[in-house]
Amino acid sequence: MTTRFFALLLILTNCVHAQNGNRKDFDKMKPVVPVELIPAAPVLSPAEAQKTFQLAPGFVIEAFAAEPLVEKPVALDFDPAGRAWVVEMLGYMMDLDGKDEKVPQGRIVILEDSDGDGKADNRTVFLDKILLPRAVAVYPDGILFVDDKNLLWQKREGLKPVGSPVVAAEKFIEDGNVEHKVNGLMRNLDNWHYNAKSGKRVRREGDKWLVEATPFRGQWGISRDNYGRLYHNNNSTFLFGDSLAPNLLQGNPGVNLKVNDVCQLGPNNTYPSRVTPGVNRAYMAKKNGFDADTLDPQTHKLISTTASAGPVIYRGSNFPAEWQGRGFTPESVVNLIKATQVAESGTKLQGSHPLDKQEFLTSTDERFRPVNLYNAPDGTMWVLDMYHGIIQDRFFMTSYLREQYASRKLDGPATGHGRIWRVRAVSGKLEKIVNFEALASAELVKQLAHANAWQRDMAQRVLVDRKDFSCVPLLEKRAGDPSVPLAQINALWTLEGLGKLSAPVIAAALGSADPKVACSALWVSTQLPAAERAKLEPSLLKFSAANDEQKIYLARALGPLGTTAAFDALADLLEKNDKLPFVKAAAFSGLDHHETAFQNQTQGKIKDAGFTAWLTQGAADAGKAPVSGKGLSGEHLASFQKGKALYSGVAACFGCHGAAGEGVLNLGPPLDESEYVNGNPERLVKILLHGLTGPITVGGKEYKTTAVMPGLILNAQLKNADIADIATYIRHEWSNKSPQIKVDLIDRLRKETADRAGRAYNAADLGK
């Protein structure tokens, strides 16, 4: 494997422990793009900027809003009237040193197109003086939003706030860098809000906010498809997709199954329309002595993405039919938007690039900074453009990039600009914007069958928030009507959100000819109360899975029944599909608190030793919450706790290795049960000090990551004692139970290996 230094160390880098800029005496930063080929980067008016776009045939891009109506937009949510509640991150990189970054100056504003001409004409500042806000979710009586520190709730009456924001959930956000904080708050089909850079989901129950664990996903931005599957990414990967519904495999917390249903969708090549010197590690080139090129040495354009941002799965009605379900991802450093074809292959998702070596949208304007994409009420796609010269946070800026910004005066102006662009198909129709709050509940039920996903999603949302139970019979009828499968799915989950889901309704949906409806019916059945679930047992027992995907969902649904007949059916399903991905994990997930009964009932039928071990461990740990740092005391416990804070805070190791040490696809191998963590302490310390390149084999599996793990000594904020604490933490967290690492070992090995000067090790260098 050729080491590709640039993938991790560039813009919006995923491992915050990468470095604080570049180390001293770094002498290989010679420019790689001839200066005469680099165009200037003046501030352009919206009309001028529009002329710089190159767009796929059949599409146009227009400004919905621009300064002074919007400034540095990074996220939004629509309300039922179609108004956009926009998050403005004003405090981000006001200059090259990040001046006043910790001064609360962000805003949440409301933009409205009152005359329906496709352009905003009214701006209302709802809330200001917010510290680096990054997400918002609108409710009838308030907004849920995320700032740099907390998940917050702000009551409202109409478009005016009432009182001050209050913390909705304690400790929802970990410490860390501005580029590595929770964002998203996307309400999914299952009525939970999901986030990027987070392993938590949140849901409203009356006046309380429930928080649950969910697999850690993404870095900036999150999206979903029509079936509630989630899509996300990180800086060096355009798009990931979850092959299954969220938390389908996480129903039994007694065992960390280490089963991952995430798939990378398509390659990560970029095809900008201009030379791209303004990339943080663009100087990493073969001619400067590195192993690989960041920029193509012939075209001087970025080879692979380094700043993938908020993706969207297009679910609108304006684009041609072949664009339905495709993913779109902005690349904010090299000013483009990538299109990804998403398809299903068996039980997993796969992706490709429908435009080959062309991008869906590019710009020659270096200040065009697309950071988030959304399906819009009129069926189009919206692009949030910060329109800001600096897109790299100060924490990671190299002197190379600093010079790039300064030479083209990209370090100013600090404020005053921002755009929201609307991308539409020339041949497509535009949906009329209707105030869903003014619609009767019966009319909202009809909207669940709308061709545009925004209307379907908003109808479900308003019905759930309204709590009008008079519409339940209409929803039940809609859930059993096979004429519009997507309406069936939305009706099922609307009933779930209202707390009015029943066994007969699910049984009717199980009979749908559309395989996705049956999957959603099986998924939603796991949310039934025990008494209602028992009524569904006959239908589940006679259900015949039409494909492999349905077998996974059926395996998840049978376990919670807890009966002899259900256990026999589940054992038969396992025996016949023991090689099918995810079936065993789904079955175990549904057997929470039924492990012993299942073992007793099916003794001799389950031959899989791994599955039996899961059952035994699950039964032993049933109902027990794992205790972090269990069995430690004194100095060891104190070091462990400090290391835990650093892991998910300043060092942000979780960005590459996962919140549960499970590893992150394309970035970092697992730490849990890793021989590199639990083995020779000196080997681990050397890796922490100077970094590691792939490929690397952990637990018998080879990991060919696209990035280099940089050494912690490159981060000026981390001292030797901090590195010792991080090592101590990862050696005694999750399944690991290894001794403490003392600071004197760090001191000694730092001196002994000083000649490496931050050069990463490879596996052969380290031995055992």
Asked if residue 473 belongs to a domain, the reply is no
Phi/psi region, residue 625 (left: phi>0; alpha: psi -120 to 50; beta: rest), is beta
Cβ–Cβ under 8 Å, residues 768 and 679:
yes
The SS3 of residue 571 is helix
Cβ–Cβ under 8 Å, residues 701 and 694:
no
Boundary residue ending a domain (425, 449, 484): 425
The pLDDT, as a whole number, for residue 234 is 92
Name residue 196's beta-bridge partners. Answer: 183
Report the alpha-carbon distance of residue 551 to residue 290 in Å, rounded.
49
Asked if residue 526 belongs to a domain, the reply is no
- Checking if the pLDDT of 177 tops 80, the result is no
**pLDDT > 70 in the chain, percent:** 95
Report the alpha-carbon distance of residue 452 to residue 82 in Å, rounded.
13
Mean of the pLDDT values across residues 190-215? 96
Which among 743, 739, 750 has a CA at the least distance from the CA of 722?
743
Query: Is the bond preceding residue 57 a cis peptide, omega within 30 degrees?
Result: no
Sign of CA dihedral 556, 559, 565, 567: positive
The CB density around residue 603, as the number of other CB atoms within 10 Å, is 9
Cβ–Cβ under 8 Å, residues 492 and 477:
no
Mean of the pLDDT values across residues 163-192? 92
- Checking if the pLDDT of 196 tops 60, the result is yes
Tell me the pLDDT band of 178, cut-offs 50, 70 and 90. confident
Cβ–Cβ under 8 Å, residues 335 and 368:
yes
The domain that holds 746 is classified in CATH as: 1.10.760.10
Residue with token string 């100077």: 690
Tell me the pLDDT band of 23, cut-offs 50, 70 and 90. very low
Report the alpha-carbon distance of residue 723 to residue 712 in Å, rounded.
7
The CB density around residue 710, as the number of other CB atoms within 10 Å, is 22
Decide which of 630 and 266 is more confident: 266
Q: Exposed e or buried b for every residue in 475-489, given b needs 16+ CB within 10 A? A: bbebbbbeebbbbbb
The pLDDT, as a whole number, for residue 758 is 60
Boundary residue ending a domain (359, 392, 425): 425
Report the alpha-carbon distance of residue 650 to residue 658 in Å, rounded.
15
Structure confidence by residue, pLDDT tens digits, 27-58: 578 899 999 999 999 999 999 999 999 999 99
Cβ–Cβ under 8 Å, residues 2 and 291:
yes
CA dihedral 752, 757, 763, 766 (to 10 degrees): 0
Boundary residue ending a domain (388, 403, 425): 425
Asked if residue 546 belongs to a domain, the reply is no
Mean pLDDT value across the chain:
92
Report the alpha-carbon distance of residue 456 to residue 450 in Å, rounded.
6
Structure confidence by residue, pLDDT tens digits, 56-110: 999 999 999 999 999 999 999 999 999 999 999 999 999 999 999 999 999 999 9
Two tokens at 359?
């991008």
Which among 332, 298, 320 has a CA at the least distance from the CA of 92?
332
Tell me the pLDDT band of 15, cut-offs 50, 70 and 90. very low
Please provide the DSSP assignment of 316-353 as one string: -SSS-GGGTT-EEEEETTTTEEEEEEEEEETTEEEEE-
The pLDDT, as a whole number, for residue 12 is 33
Asked if residue 512 belongs to a domain, the reply is no
- Checking if the pLDDT of 369 tops 90, the result is yes
Structural domain count, the chain: 2
The SS3 of residue 175 is coil
Asked if residue 324 belongs to a domain, the reply is yes
- Checking if the pLDDT of 223 tops 70, the result is yes
- Checking if the pLDDT of 456 tops 50, the result is yes
Structure confidence by residue, pLDDT tens digits, 110-154: 999 999 999 999 999 999 999 999 999 999 999 999 999 999 999
The CB density around residue 665, as the number of other CB atoms within 10 Å, is 16
Look at the pTM and tell me if it is higher than 0.85: yes
Mean of the pLDDT values across residues 613-635? 83
Amino acid in the structure at residue 453: A
- Checking if the pLDDT of 725 tops 50, the result is yes
Structure confidence by residue, pLDDT tens digits, 305-337: 999 999 999 999 999 999 999 999 999 999 999
- The range of the structural domain enclosing residue 692 comes to 634-766
Sign of CA dihedral 395, 32, 239, 313: positive
Asked if residue 370 belongs to a domain, the reply is yes
The domain that holds 93 is classified in CATH as: 2.120.10.30
Report the alpha-carbon distance of residue 177 to residue 198 in Å, rounded.
14
593-597, 621-625, 737-741: least confidently modelled range: 621-625
Tell me the pLDDT band of 702, cut-offs 50, 70 and 90. confident
- Checking if the pLDDT of 603 tops 80, the result is yes
Asked if residue 659 belongs to a domain, the reply is yes
The pLDDT, as a whole number, for residue 566 is 97
- Checking if the pLDDT of 622 tops 70, the result is no
The pLDDT, as a whole number, for residue 247 is 97
- Checking if the pLDDT of 574 tops 90, the result is yes
Cβ–Cβ under 8 Å, residues 501 and 492:
yes
Asked if residue 237 belongs to a domain, the reply is yes
